[in-house]
Chains A and B, each alone.
Chain A
Amino acid sequence: GAGVSQSPSNKVTEKGKDVELRCDPISGHTALYWYRQSLGQGLEFLIYFQGNSAPDKSGLPSDRFSAERTGGSVSTLTIQRTQQEDSAVYLCASSPRLASGELFFGEGSRLTVL
């Protein structure tokens, strides 16, 4: 498809396990963003990429969170030693250029940590 694709759409895991969430942005979009959406909390910015570079990682909630992007395309968000408070919908978005603000979002990956 032509939109932002995220996988898995749903992930249930046990506390302490590692999870990987994947994002395929729209082809040609140089900017890629990860947000987290928790019930009643709105959207929380996690990290952005310009190409393969993530200049600012301060939005990541803890050092258990990491993200990478390869080939200026696919991005992976990894959460190590998951905790129950990590349960949320993780949204990926891409944009033709950084700072345009017009983001194209995927449908998200719903993570449930038991």
Chain B
Amino acid sequence: ETGVTQSPTHLIKTRGQQVTLRCSSQSGHNTVSWYQQALGQGPQFIFQYYREEENGRGNFPPRFSGLQFPNYSSELNVNALELDDSALYLCASSQESGTVRTDTQYFGPGTRLTVL
């Protein structure tokens, strides 16, 4: 086990609703990245949080937003849900510093979101 936890494990929402997904990073890790994985596809980078600030963003609209807390845990918020938002949402933790990037990321079990 990686020590990365996510909640909830499953979620069902309807179009137009808002959702918050949570992630706790592995002990000693200060960076959290979020990915969306649609069925049959590889994960796609949404954004990364380092020292409570967004540190890189993929090709996702502004209705995807996030937070990182002082204990390095993180939230992913999605507003105005669309049917295509149905996917497995993965968070990954890593240890980064100002000058050293490890790039090695360890994934949590994911939250499976279904939008009806």
Do A and B associate with each other?
Answer: no
